[in-house]
Amino acid sequence: MKLKHLCSSVFICGCLAFCLNAGAAITATDAWVRGTVPAQKTTGAFLTLESSEDAKLVAVSTPAAKSAEIHESQQTQGMMQMHAVEAVPLPAGKRVELKPGGFHVMLVDLAKPLGEGDSVPLTLTIESKDGKRTKVDVSASVRPLGR
C-alpha cells in the first residue's frame, strides 16, 4: 500500500511541475507496464492521461529500454495491426486511456526482464497547442503477464 502512495506522490509532483511550467494541468493515473519473461525484449506501457487544455503526447522515454515508441493498435480487415504514431491527442478535459488494443507505449530493447513489483520510470513529453513542450515524470508499476 505504501508503494501506491509513493507512486501517487510522484504523479502529483510531476503534474505540479507541468502546471507551473506550461499553465495546463496534466493528470497521469493507473500507469503500468506488462511484465515479461526472461528473453523478452519488448513490452507495453499503459496509463490514463487528462489535460486541462488541448495538448498531445509526443514522446516517451525510459531508462528501462533503449527506446519507447507511441503506438496504436487498430482492427483492419479483421486483423489487429499495430503501428507507430507521432502523437496522441489530449483534448481538454477528456480522459485518454493508453491501453492494450488502442494507443499504448512500446518499450523496445529492454535493459532487463520486468517482474511484478518492479517500477518503471517513464518521462512523457507533452506538447501544448502553442508548441511548448514539457516533461512529466511518471512511475509505472509492473503487472504480471496475463493481467
Q: What does the pLDDT average to over 36-52?
A: 96
- Hey, which residues does 75 pair with through a beta bridge? 80
**Where exactly are the structural domains of the chain?**
2-138
CA angle 76, 43, 104 (to 5 degrees): 50
- Give phi and psi for 57, each to the nearest 5: -85, 120
Architecture of domain 2-138 in CATH? Sandwich (2.60)
Number of C-beta neighbours around residue 84 at 10 A? 9
Which residues have C-beta within 8 Å of that of residue 36, sequence separation ≥ 6? 43, 110, 113, 114, 115, 145
Supply the pLDDT for residue 78: 83
Specify the pLDDT at position 8: 43
Query: Is the four-CA dihedral 121, 4, 30, 100 of positive or negative sign?
Result: positive
| Statement: residue 24 has pLDDT above 50 | yes
Taking the model in full, what pTM does it have? 0.81
Binning pLDDT at 50, 70 and 90, where does residue 21 land? Answer: very low
> Which residue in the block uniquely carries the three cell numbers 493508453?
98
The predicted pLDDT at position 81 comes to 84
Widest Cα–Cα separation across the chain: 46
Cell reading at 2: 505504501
**Once rounded to an integer, what is the mean pLDDT over residues 28-51?**
97
Q: Which three cell numbers stand for residue 28?
A: 497521469
Q: Are 57 and 87 in contact (CB under 8 A)?
A: yes
Tell me what pLDDT residue 147 has.
Answer: 59
Residue 77: pLDDT band by 50, 70, 90 thresholds? confident
Query: Which phi and psi (to 5°) does residue 12 adopt?
Result: -65, -45
Tell me phi and psi for residue 6, to 5 degrees.
-65, -45
Q: Cβ distance 16 to 112 under 8 Å?
A: no
Q: Which residue has the higher pLDDT, 8 or 124?
A: 124
